[in-house]
Amino acid sequence: MTPDPEEAGPVLYAPQQTIRILFVDDDPILREFAAVNLAAEHTEIETVADGEAALVAIARQAPDIVLLNLEGPGFEALGVLRALRSRSDARATPVIVVTGREDIEAVDAAYAAGATSFAVKPLNWRLLGRQVRFVLRAATEGAGSESDQLVALAREGVRFIAQAMAIDPRLKSAAAPFVEAADAALEVRRVNGAEQRSGRFGASD
C-alpha cells in the first residue's frame, strides 16, 4: 500500500527516485534551515549563496527543482532564471522564486523570466515542502502526458497508414511524408529518453 504523503514523517514526501533540490539564498541561516527542513529520504539538497554559484551548480548537474531568492546582494535572480531557461538540459526545470517583499511587479517579472511558482518569506517550511512536491508532480505529469500522447499518435498513425496501404498500395507515395515524420518523432523520443536516463544516473558526455 502506498503511504499517504499527508501522514509521512518527513516534510517533503519523495518517491524512490532521488530528487535533487537546489536552494539559492544569501542568508546562511535560511540555507541551513532548507538543508534540515526539506530533507527526506531519496532527496539531495544543495545550497548556494548567490546566482553565480547557482549557475555553476546547474552546469555541473541540472537539479530537479530550484528554489531561488528573488532579491539579495551579489546576484540577479532574473538573470539566473533567463540563463536556466536558455539551457537545453534545464529549460523545463521548475523554479520556485522566494521573495520577502509584497512586490507584484517583481513576481510578474519572475514569471516572465521563467519562474514556475513563488513563496513568500517568512517561509513556512512544512507548506514549502508540500509546494515543492506538488510543483514537481505537476511538471513531471505535464511533460510526460504531452509527450506520451504525441508518441501514441505517431504510432497509431503509422499503423493506420500501413493498413491503408495494404488495402490500396497506390497510397504509398502520398503516405510517405507522414511515415517519415512519424518515424523521426519516434526516433527523437527514443534518443531523448536514452539521454535522460543517462543523465539521471550520472553519466557524462
Q: Supply the pTM of this predicted model.
A: 0.63
Select from 139, 163, 190 the last residue of a domain: 139
Question: Looking at the structure, do residues 77 and 158 belong to the same domain, yes or no?
Answer: no
Distance (Å, whole) CA 42 – CA 37: 14
Q: How many domains is the chain partitioned into structurally?
A: 2
Q: Note whether 9 and 83 are same-domain residues.
A: yes
Tens digit of pLDDT for each residue in 82-101? 888 888 878 889 999 998 87
Q: What angle do CA 133, 97, 125 make, to 5 degrees?
A: 50
Tell me: do 58 and 107 sit in the same domain: yes
Asked if residue 135 lies in contact with residue 124, where contact means CB atoms within 8 angstroms, the answer is: no
Instruction: Show which of 139, 159, 174 is a domain's final residue.
Output: 139
Backbone angles phi, psi at 89, to 5 degrees: -90, -5
Q: Is residue 72 domain-shared with residue 156, that is, in the same domain?
A: no
Is 205 among the domain residues?
Answer: no
Look at residues 139, 162, 182 and tell me which one is the last residue of a structural domain: 139
For 6-18, b/e burial (b = at least 16 CB within 10 A) is eeeeebbbbeeee
Q: What is the grid cell recorded at 36?
A: 534540515
Peptide bond into 73 cis (omega under 30): no
Q: Which of 66, 43, 44, 39 is nearest to 55 (CA)?
A: 66
Give the CATH number, domain containing residue 111. Answer: 3.40.50.2300
Phi, psi of 62 (to 5 degrees): -65, 130
93 shares its domain with 106: yes
Evaluate if residue 28 carries a pLDDT over 80: yes
Burial class (CB in 10 A: 0-12, 13-18, 19+), 143: exposed
Provide the residue range defining the domain that includes 47.
5-139
Q: What is the tens place of the pLDDT at every residue in 135-166? A: 998 887 765 555 555 656 666 666 666 777 77
The predicted-structure confidence for 52-77, as pLDDT tens digits, reads as follows 899 999 989 889 999 999 886 555 78
Are 125 and 176 found together in one domain?
no
